[in-house]
């Protein structure tokens, strides 16, 4: 009767008023809001001979995809062109977020783009959980896309 209200939790009695200790590096949530109407989102897949750049441009219905040579100036021009397209469509771009997989060109390019006002996220390939089945399907799709063998269904 004199015992405070509580529950058993993982081998110990826990009072209901106790609060679990917060995690220092809680990467499960974003501290910055993602406003899709004000953020130009760009992803880059890099190889030795070319960079495949895709984007989500606010106010533009299509999702642009562009193949570039490994040239940072060309990448910057492309991002600026997409920003101008969003502005023409009546959107105010407050943030440009660009992400790519860490590799040969990873960190110098990130520093170079950050110096030009672009928010860069370098992703380590092993930090992305992907099933093996997806990897096989995606690599087949990427190979066909690269060789221009994909046939898109006609829209209704």
Taking 60 as the threshold, does the pLDDT of residue 156 lie above it? no
Rounded mean pLDDT, 30-39: 80
Q: Which helix (H) or strand (E) element contains residue 58?
A: none
pTM, two decimal places: 0.64
Walk me through the domains of the chain, giving residue ranges and CATH numbers.
35-126 (3.30.420.40)
Q: Dump pLDDT digits (tens) for 55-80.
A: 999 999 888 999 999 999 999 999 99
How many CA atoms lie within 13 Å of 18's alpha carbon, on the beta-carbon side? 12
Paired tokens of 119: 């928010």
* pLDDT-derived band at 9, boundaries 50, 70, 90: low
Mean pLDDT, the chain, rounded, equals 78
**What confidence score (pLDDT) does residue 42 get?**
94
Paired tokens of 70: 């490994």
């Amino acid at each position: 009767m004199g015992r405070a209200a509580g529950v058993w939790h993982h081998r110990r009695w826990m009072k209901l008023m106790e609060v679990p200790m917060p995690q220092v590096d809680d990467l499960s949530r974003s501290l910055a809001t993602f406003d899709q109407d004000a953020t130009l989102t760009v992803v880059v897949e890099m190889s030795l001979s070319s960079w495949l750049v895709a984007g989500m441009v606010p106010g533009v219905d299509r999702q642009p995809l562009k193949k570039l040579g490994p040239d940072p100036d060309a990448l910057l021009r492309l991002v600026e062109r997409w920003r101008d397209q969003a502005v023409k469509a009546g959107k105010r771009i407050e943030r440009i977020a660009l992400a790519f997989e860490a590799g040969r060109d990873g960190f110098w390019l990130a520093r170079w783009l950050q110096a030009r006002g672009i928010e860069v996220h370098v992703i380590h390939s092993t930090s992305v959980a992907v099933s093996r089945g997806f990897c096989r399907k995606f690599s087949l799709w990427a190979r066909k896309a690269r060789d221009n063998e994909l046939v898109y269904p006609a829209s209704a």
